[in-house]
Every structure is written in C-alpha cells, then in structure tokens.
Amino acid sequence: MIYNDKLEMVNFEYLKDLNEAQKEAVLHVEGPLLIVAGAGSGKTKVLTSRIAHLIKEKKAFPNQILSVTFTNKAAKEMQSRVSSMLKTEATGLSWLGTFHSICAKLLRKHATAAGLNSNFTIIDQDDQARLIKNICKSENIDIKALAPKYILSIIDRWKNKGFYPDKVIINKKDIYEKTILPLYKIYQQKLLDLNACDFGDLILHCVNILEKHSDINNIYSNNFKYILVDEYQDTNFIQSKWLKLLAKKHQNICCVGDDDQSIYSWRGAEIKNFLEFDQVYKNSKVIRLEKNYRSSQNILSVASHLIANNQNRVGKTLETTKEEGDLVKLNCFKNGKDEAIGVADEIEKKLKKKYSLNNIAILVRAIFQTREFEEHFLKIGLPYRILGGIKFYERAEIKDCVAYLRLIYQNKDDLAFGRIINNPKRSIGESTIKKINEYSKKNGINLEISSRKLIELNLIKPKTKIGLNSFLNLMQKWRNDLGIKKMNHVKLLQTVLDESGYSAMLKNKKDFENENRLENIKELLSAMKEFDNLESFLEHVALATSIDQDWAGEKVNLMTMHGSKGLEFDVVFLPGWEEGLFPHQKSIEEKGQNGLEEERRLAYVGITRAKKIALISFSMNRFYQGDWIDSMASRFLEELPEKNLEKNTFFDEKDKNEEDFDFNQDFETENEIRSPGWLRYQKRIK
C-alpha cells in the first residue's frame, strides 16, 4: 500500500515502478524539499511523477506549477513524460521550461518595469560581440588586447551575481575589471536604446522587477503553488534568488540535483545554493535517492570511495540494482601513444565483439588529449566521433598552423595563402584581398606572385602595403630557414608562430578560449616530432583530413568529461589521470581546495557514466610541448579502493617492491629513454 502525507491510501499507475525513496519524494508535497539524486537514480522519473501527482490529486492546476530545467531537451522530455502519464490533463503546463524561456515570458508581460517595450529583442552571442566591438571602437579600446568575448564573460559574471553597472564592486586583483565596468554601463544603455536584452538580462531584469514591485511579485508567488527545479547544483546566484522570490508565498519548492556532480563553477554555478538549501528554506526536508539503475556495484564503489574524500558535500551512499560486475581496470602505460594503442586494442580485440561502438566512450580532461586517439584510430580504421567538439586537425588554430607550413612548402597553395594573409591582422582588408584575387585570375598567376606584382605596380594602399610586404618577406625568410638553413620542421613552426605574431595574438588576447587553442598548438608541435620532415608531416595531415570519417554505422565516442554529464555508456575509458592534467593544475592554482574538490567531482561524473565497464589509465611519460616529461600518477588513484580494482601487469605485486613505483614520484628528465618512468617500465617487462 502507498500512503500520502495525510496517511490516505493512494494507488496511481505512475507510482508503481518507483522505489520507496522515490515514492516518498513524489508524495511529500508540502513545504521545501531537497532531493539529493545520485547518478543514475531516476531523478527525471521522480520529477515527472511528482508533477503528475500534483495534478492528479488536484493539489494545483497545471498552470500553477512552475517547473524549471536548464535545457530545452530536458524540458521537452519532462513534458512528454507527464503527457504520457496524464494524457490530456497535462496540456496546461504553461510554466514548464528553461530558466531563460520562463523569464522571457515573464519579462514580456512586465517589460515596461525594466525600461523596455513588450516587443523587445533578445540578442544572441554574435550580436553581443558586434555591439561590444562597436563600443570598444568608440572608446578606443584595443580588442586585440581585450577580446569582446572576454569582456562579455565578465559582464555575464556580474549579471549572474545580480549586479547592474551601479552595483558592481571591482575586484582589485583583476586588472581588466576597471576597464570593463565603463563598457558595461555603455553596453546596458545601448541595449535599452535598442529595446533589447541579452540572455543574462532575462533573469536579472525579472529579479529586479520582483524585488521592486511587490504587486507583481504577489501575482506570481501566489499563483505558483508548487515549484520544481532540475539540476539545482548548477544554479548561480541570480537564479537561486529568482526562485526564492517566487517561492515566497507557498514555500512549496522542490529542488532536485546532485552536489557530487557540480562541475560548472567556471560558468557561474554555485554549489553553496545546494549545500545551504536548508538555511535558505526553513523546515525543509531532505530525501536521498541512493538506488542506482545504471552502473554495476564495482563501478559505484570506486566512484563513491573517491568522492567521499570531498568535504563540501551533503553525502549519500549509492547502491545498485545491477550485479557486482567487472572490476574497474587501472592501466599504466609507457607513454601517451601506447595509451592510445592500448585503448584501441582493448576495443578491437575484446569489447567490439560484445558491445556496440556507439556505447563505448573515451572521456578526457582536456580536449587536446583527443589527438593521439584520433591519430591511431585513423591509422587502424576504427571509426569515431567527437561529441561536443571539433576533430583535432579541423580546429581553426591547427588549420592556421598547417596553412602557414603548406605555403612555406610551396608558394602555389592559394587556399593556404587566403587563410593566413591577414591572420593575425596585418591591415589587409577585404577590398585588397579581392584585388589580389582578381589580378591573379586575370593574369593566370598564384596569389603570392599577384601580391608582389600589385606592390611593384604601386596598386596597394600605403598602410596595407606595409602589412602585405612584411608578410611576403617573412614567408621568404621562412623558406630560407627551411631550405638553406635546413631548420627542423618543428622549430620552423615555432619560429613562424613567434615571428608572425600568431603566438602573441593568442597569449595577449584576454579570451578564455585561447588557453585551449594554445594547448592544441602545443599538442600539434608534439605530433610533428613523430615525422622526419615537413613533407611527411603535411602528407599525413592531408591524408588524415581527406579520409571519410563519417563511416556509416557505429562509432566510438570521444569527448571531455564536462561534455559527458547526463550521458551513459556501456564502456567508459578514462585516460590521462596524471598530476597537472587531472586534477588540472590551473584549477588547483586558481581555486585551491575548492578547485581540487571540483576536479574530484569531475572524476566522479566520469566514472559514473559507465554502466558495465570502466577503465582508468595513466602514462609514465607524456610527449608534451615538444619534450618528453616524466608523469606523476594522479593523486586520485590513491583514493580508489583496491578491492574494486583490477591492475595491469605493471602493478603485479609479486614483481614489485616499494621503491619500484610510487604514486608521489617526483622526477625531472630530459627525454623518454633516460626517464625514471621508462627505466621502471623496462625493469618490469624484463
């Protein structure tokens, strides 16, 4: 028998497949409720069943239920599930959607209170960037030094914290905020003049209206008898404040999430919203969903044991409905290349026979790590896809580097010429490029010769002529470096990046994306060392990019751990568990203990994507930035429970003494052959 809060027997179809904790979460409808939903615990089923129950029990009409998600996909899935449960009774769920879609709806109704008309425009990221560029131009701000995307990221951060320009308190440690604040003021005024707002404004304006207009606040806080929030651990300050204002009257707010999966602090998420729920909403109840329907017990035990090392968490103990399953594999490899080969061999020789490639995933900490896997997969013909990213040799910065090398190698490569002639900026505009192309076509010559002829004929504007001449002279100098001076092709690219200004462009431009671009270029330099000369490398790139990678049928999935959240696979590989890479050095340097705990939560997310098999690996040596480095095993490996692990032969206890391997090794080396990691490996395999 199932009972509600009033101890009355209820018997609804949608409750039959729920476990006891899930039923409790559905039936507890009065007062604030925090549902701590562990990975794979069926939180979406609970949320949708709860909505169905509220409507079926006539606790509220559909339009009196506010249900908030982070993605349109999640909102559509919830709508579909509730409709399936209740048929036509769910048609009135007009307040089920994302934070932004619901706030846009509210703002349309009360636009005048925010200084807007109801037909205001919501501008996208491209429009935002154009507007900021125009403002920077008028204010004499160099966008080469301070990228519009970075300016907008700071403005967005202020909006996430609830700050209009007049409320911003400048962080004195950030040298850029003092410059950005006046731009923020102009930006907001421009938006008002245009009768427009950006995505950050949608929530910020709504909160401002609800705070300043008690009559409007009363309308919605009275109407929304029940509020449900998905992925509450990912909310930022302004989102949590908006929810609190709307829950003021009835206090029937139900937030679902998992503090152990809070991995988005870099985009404004504040885990304290989750941890301090009971302080914000008095007399709240906490229900833990600890039964996992996804992973085997060994996988859960490893993940739970690891995350238990975090201090800032609500805490829960996951149990599975599945069998104990295979032990989690821990593999050590000689180097990163061997790691890619080892993963491919495992897929080809063992896993492929039993599992669909679509159900196999490789989760990396940083996107540059995909390169070695892509290289080897292409070599052996193992089909793959990059989820949430671009394949290595198709990334813009890599194509730029290759274009420079192609043009140096042969001056007739007009495609390469067109890509890099004004990259980085050399005051060579579209009209000049058009003129070069027209002269080339008319005279049957390549673009480089065409450029030289136009300079000779004095048909190029003086300012443009300086930039074009400089580019052409550098190109000739690099050809001499390669041909006459016999410069190594790796050194050549390093020289090109320095002398062209490309490296400086990425380093000096304050833009979050540039850090990844620099990492990718460093990985490219590492890749080039595997080839004897420039010719063989360019041939490799041409073949790699010309191969039809859209094989029909199944593909192995490559993605970052951040991108894997919410997904699940039969088999999950987790390579590169080495200090500095994972946990990532930058995260620890910038955020200290909080950064380390978020990295550990990321590890937890990665492990719990696996349903049946999880394989963790690290390399003793890694070719990084053109040099061999001796890697240190990730500190997270020490936190994994021995009884749930299966280690490869490197860890065989009968051949190992205490001095042979130490997770906390600290060595310096110049090359792979001399490295302690390599020596240990040789000793082990003899």
Catalytic one among 188, 261, 320, 432? 261
- Name the nearest CA neighbour of 227 among 68, 22, 103: 68
In this predicted structure, which of 6-10, 30-34, 403-407, 515-519 has the lowest mean pLDDT?
Answer: 6-10
Tell me how crowded residue 116 is: count the other CB atoms within 10 A of its CB.
21
Could you read off the pLDDT of 519-577 as tens digits, one per residue?
899 989 988 988 889 988 998 888 777 655 554 579 999 999 999 998 999 999 999 99
609 as an active site residue: the answer is yes
Name residues whose C-beta falls within 8 Å of residue 662's C-beta, 6 or more positions apart in sequence. none
3-state secondary structure of 592: helix
Average pLDDT over residues 113-134: 91
Evaluate whether 158 touches 203 at the Cβ level (below 8 Å): no
Confidence of residue 682 (pLDDT cuts 50, 70, 90): very low
pLDDT at 240 over 90: yes
pLDDT at 673 over 80: no
Any idea which residue has 């994994």 for tokens?
Answer: 640
Catalytic one among 22, 23, 24, 43? 43
Could you read off the pLDDT of 378-434 as tens digits, one per residue?
889 899 999 888 889 889 999 999 999 999 998 888 989 999 999 998 989 899 999
Q: How far, in Å, CA of 521 to CA of 395, rounded?
A: 10
410 as an active site residue: the answer is no
Q: What angle do CA 49, 55, 59 make, to 5 degrees?
A: 115
The enclosing H or E element of 569 equals: strand 569-574
Evaluate whether 201 touches 102 at the Cβ level (below 8 Å): no
Could you read off the pLDDT of 257-306 as tens digits, one per residue?
999 999 988 888 899 999 999 999 999 999 999 999 999 999 999 999 99
Q: How far, in Å, CA of 252 to CA of 247, rounded?
A: 7
Q: DSSP for 555-577, please give it.
A: -EEEEEHHHHTT--EEEEEE---
261 as an active site residue: the answer is yes
Residue 388, sorted as left (phi over 0), alpha (psi -120 to 50) or beta, turns out to be left
Catalytic one among 159, 517, 609, 612? 609
Catalytic one among 24, 198, 201, 230? 230
Could you tell me the CA-to-CA distances from 287 to 240, 255, 257 in Å, in that order?
20, 11, 11
Q: What is the pLDDT of residue 668?
A: 37
In this predicted structure, which of 125-139, 303-317, 515-529, 622-636 has the lowest mean pLDDT?
Answer: 622-636
Catalytic one among 24, 201, 231, 290? 231
- Name the nearest CA neighbour of 380 among 355, 344, 416, 353: 344
Q: What is the pLDDT of residue 686?
A: 42
* DSSP letter (8 states) at residue 633: B
What are the residue ranges of helices labelled H in 15-64?
A: 20-27, 43-56
Average pLDDT over residues 143-170: 91
Any idea which residue has 């899930």 for tokens?
Answer: 22
Q: How far, in Å, CA of 433 to CA of 424, rounded?
A: 15
For all residues of the chain together, what is the average pLDDT? 87
Peptide bond into 424 cis (omega under 30): yes
3-state secondary structure of 80: helix
Could you read off the pLDDT of 489-510 as tens digits, one per residue?
999 999 999 999 999 888 876 6
Q: What is the pLDDT of residue 15?
A: 83
